[in-house]
Structure 1
């Protein structure tokens, strides 16, 4: 890509898509194309194909997806598999039909088996059963990876797939019903602080370990790989370190400045016991993350407070 290339960012309002757009804009890329969900329903083939025919993007970042935490995945499994299959199938095939130069597909580390050896290597894909709580989402993402591989093999396209670890940061989803653990805890600790509540409940034992990457680092990696990597082998994108949920909760408590207790509700599900990706392939390609977890949490909490202030101003 060069700064004049026409680049389509699918999902530009989400956590990942907005980070990619920020990165591209700040680095001089000035020919970006994007649409809101109201303007373009990626689940509808006719709309997607018409958009590609009209705009003719050269490069595509496929960051659009239906995402959510354990509650949402458990409650709406049909929605997660249907919507994600439709979105990625339509965008990938429209990219092929309209001769784009390159596509980057964003997956998720939930594609790996629940009891995968740690750290998780790319070759562990499809070697064991998935975590039941997000199986539908994971199967859709696996299909997207295989779709990119299949188009490359049959048609000689240049579609690459990257598997980011757990992401957080600006434009995260802080809805308690649908968010992931980190933004949900930020909101819980903040509201408990404001309301002087004596304790905050955290689901599960607190023992599972997770790896967290700041979204702007992911954007940096995505653009780097779009510009340097050409291959069908998927690439893990992470920081190479993980943390127990109880340690994360304490870090977030300190970041927010909450003084109460943390209570772990062990009747609630933990999810996979550990999720740490092997980033050997990524580091060999010459990229590594820059933002520490502590720095990222501070930036994320600041952005959460700014969004709250905006909402308060609007409501007044």
Structure 2
């Protein structure tokens, strides 16, 4: 009896692996490492025939060069910035993702954060819960009507386009910035398009990030860029933490230039206990506290979506093990 290929799920998804085994039973042995820290990854993948990696760990050159028989690396999610795709390409190992599973959920989360910040809901809930201020709207003013306000999007792929359509439904004037985007998408969506980040920033009352983390987008939004936003603007990041300088966001909230920030993703996850964003989020005395929404990289999640990305990731592994064409190869 021949030995089945070994498929290793590195992080996020522990046993039981129902979705993965539903697809791969009889074709591969599936193992969940459930690793929480990068150092624990050493030596765990050397004999893997396929690797499924999520967002808590990084698969760098050192680990990839130790893969002896790996047929594919699958990131069962959209972003793959935690995989050294150059090293994988040099080893002839294809890298695949699941680009469509969380489109609705991330767009919904981005709009949910934006709306609760723009309407003063989060601010008042945070203040009044602990007995600060009068039981009325006064301390949250000025609150502007949403219709006609500019909702700016950096990135207009699947998720960005879904967010644009949702923002249009609330009456926002939607403006997009996405240099690689093919011409005409803005006409299909019925939105405006600008050719520079500065042009987007100077008019965006709400700025929502929907771009991948690449060398071009890393640290795209820092203190200087935040200063270009209109006074009282709101920023929402459901993309990748490295796109935005979160410390600069906290400082801008504290000095009053930004009136709200919804942060789903951080440069380091989970963040260190002494990080400025955690201090602001936990300390009611911090001037940014009541205007900061923080989530632990959960904008993507719903029960149905979880089943979808796990199943689609496993199907991509199966295609690789069987030598069939891959569906979502990024490198």
Q: Do Structure 1 and Structure 2 share a fold, with TM-score over 0.5?
A: no
Larger radius of gyration: 2
Q: If each structure's helix is expressed as a fraction of its own residues, which one has the higher value?
A: 1
Normalising by structure 1, report the TM-score.
Answer: 0.32
Normalising by structure 2, report the TM-score.
Answer: 0.30
